[in-house]
C-alpha cells in the first residue's frame, strides 16, 4: 500500500491513485461493477469475500476459522479479515489504485483502514453506496453463478453468457455457485449488513467522501452512473 501512487495504465487513465470503497448489501452488484471499473480504469478489485474464500479453499488457519461463519451468513472477525487484506495489499499490483469490494463492513474495519491508509499518506477517495431494495437482493443472490476459470459473474435471469454455457470473458465452460448463496443465508447476510455495515454510510458522509448510486437499474446503467463518478473524482 505504501507504493500506491503510480498512474493507471489503461486508455481511460486516472490522474491520481484512487482508494474506492464499494458498499452495499449482498447482491447489490459490488463484484459485477468492481470488475467493470477494473477493466475501464485499470484499478484493482480487492474483494474480502474472494480473499476469504481463497483462504477457505487453501485450508489456511484463517480460512478454517472463517468457514463456518461465512456458511451461516455472519461476519468474519475483523482480525481475520484485516490479516487477509493486509497480505493482499502487500502485493505490488495495488499501486495503481484499488476498489475495495465488501470491505470495510464494521466500524472497526473502517477505523483500521483509515489508519492503514494514513500511514502511507493516503485516505479514502470515495465510498460509493449502491442503493437497492432488500427483497430484490434475495433474487439476485439466489440466481448468481460465476465462471469457474475467471470468476466472471452471471445470473439465471439477469445476465446470461452471450453463448449459452460459454463464458463471455474467457471461453470457459465450467460454472459454479457459492454454497452461501441460498435465500435463507442471503437473509442472514442482509441482517448483518443492516446491523453492522449500513452505519458506515454515515461515517463516510461525515468524512465528505460519500457517493450514492441507485443500483436498482440494469447492470449497464449502474455502470454508467459509477463510471461518471470515477471520472469526476479522478479529474
Helix, strand, or coil (residue 21):
strand
Closer to ligand ADP by Cβ: residue 16 or 177: 177
- Out of 55, 56, 189, 225, point to the residue binding ligand ADP (CB under 6 A): 189
What are the E-state strand segments in 24-124?
A: 44-47, 97-101
Site map (CB under 6 A) of ligand ADP, residues 138-157, x = contact? --x--xx--------xxx--
Binding status of residue 24 toward ligand ADP by CB under 6 A? yes
User: Is 144 tagged catalytic?
Assistant: yes
Which residue's C-beta sits nearest to ligand ADP?
49
CB 96 within 8 A of CB 17: yes
Task: Give which of 115, 137, 146, 123 is closest to 187, Cα–Cα.
Answer: 137
Contacts of residues 10-15 at CB distance under 8 Å and 24 or more positions apart, as own/partner, are: 10/39, 10/40, 10/41, 10/42, 12/40, 12/41, 12/42, 12/231, 13/42, 14/41, 14/42, 14/43, 14/97, 14/230, 14/234, 15/234, 15/235
Contacts with Zn ion, residue ranges (CB under 5 A): 147, 149-150, 152, 167, 169-170, 172
By CB under 6 A, the count of residues binding ligand ADP is: 36
- Among 16, 30, 40, 206, the active-site one is 30
What are the E-state strand segments in the chain?
A: 18-23, 44-47, 97-101, 126-131, 144-147, 153-155, 175-176, 210-214
Sign of CA dihedral 34, 36, 37, 39: positive
Choose the contact partner of 48 out of Zn ion, ligand ADP, none; CB within 5 to 8 A by kind.
ligand ADP
Helix, strand, or coil (residue 235):
coil
User: Is 177 tagged catalytic?
Assistant: yes
Cell 461465512 sits at which residue? 70
Cell 484463517 sits at which residue? 62
Say how far residue 26 (Cα) sits from the centre of its chain: 10
Choose the contact partner of 32 out of ligand ADP, Zn ion, none; CB within 5 to 8 A by kind.
ligand ADP
Closer to Zn ion by Cβ: residue 139 or 149: 149
Site map (CB under 6 A) of ligand ADP, residues 74-103, x = contact? xxx----x--------------------xx
- Among 2, 119, 176, 177, the active-site one is 177
Closer to ligand ADP by Cβ: residue 16 or 160: 160
Choose the contact partner of 147 out of Zn ion, ligand ADP, none; CB within 5 to 8 A by kind.
Zn ion
Q: Which residues bind ligand ADP (CB under 6 A)?
A: 24, 26-32, 47-49, 52, 69-70, 73-76, 81, 102-103, 105, 109, 140, 143-144, 153-155, 158-159, 189, 215, 218-219, 222
Positions marked active-site: 30, 105, 144, 177, 189
Amino acid at each position: 500500500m505504501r507504493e500506491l501512487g503510480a498512474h493507471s495504465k489503461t486508455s481511460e487513465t486516472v490522474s491520481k491513485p484512487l482508494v474506492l470503497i464499494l458498499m452495499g448489501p449482498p447482491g447489490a452488484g459490488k463484484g459485477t461493477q468492481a470488475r467493470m471499473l477494473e477493466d475501464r480504469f485499470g484499478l484493482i478489485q480487492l474483494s474480502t469475500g474472494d480473499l476469504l474464500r481463497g483462504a477457505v479453499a487453501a485450508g489456511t488457519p484463517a480460512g478454517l476459522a472463517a468457514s463456518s461463519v461465512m456458511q451461516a451468513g455472519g461476519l468474519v472477525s475483523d482480525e481475520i479479515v484485516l490479516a487477509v487484506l493486509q497480505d493482499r495489499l502487500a502485493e505490488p499490483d495495488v499501486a495503481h489504485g484499488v476498489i475495495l469490494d465488501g470491505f470495510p463492513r464494521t466500524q472497526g474495519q473502517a477505523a483500521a483502514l483509515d489508519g492503514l491508509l494514513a500511514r502511507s499518506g493516503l485516505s479514502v477517495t470515495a465510498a460509493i453506496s449502491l442503493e437497492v431494495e432488500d427483497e430484490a437482493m434475495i433474487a439476485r443472490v439466489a440466481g448468481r453463478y460465476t465462471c469457474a476459470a475467471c470468476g466472471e459473474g452471471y445470473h439465471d435471469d439477469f445476465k446470461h453468457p452471450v453463448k449459452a454455457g460459454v463464458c463471455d470473458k474467457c471461453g470457459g465452460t465450467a460454472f459454479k455457485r457459492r454454497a452461501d448463496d441460498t435465500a435463507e443465508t442471503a437473509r442472514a447476510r442482509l441482517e448483518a449488513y443492516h446491523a453492522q455495515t449500513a452505519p458506515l454510510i454515515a461515517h463516510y458522509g461525515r468524512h465528505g467522501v460519500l457517493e450514492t448510486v441507485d443500483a436498482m437499474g440494469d447492470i449497464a446503467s449502474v455502470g454508467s452512473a459509477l463510471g461518471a463518478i470515477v471520472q469526476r473524482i479522478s479529474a
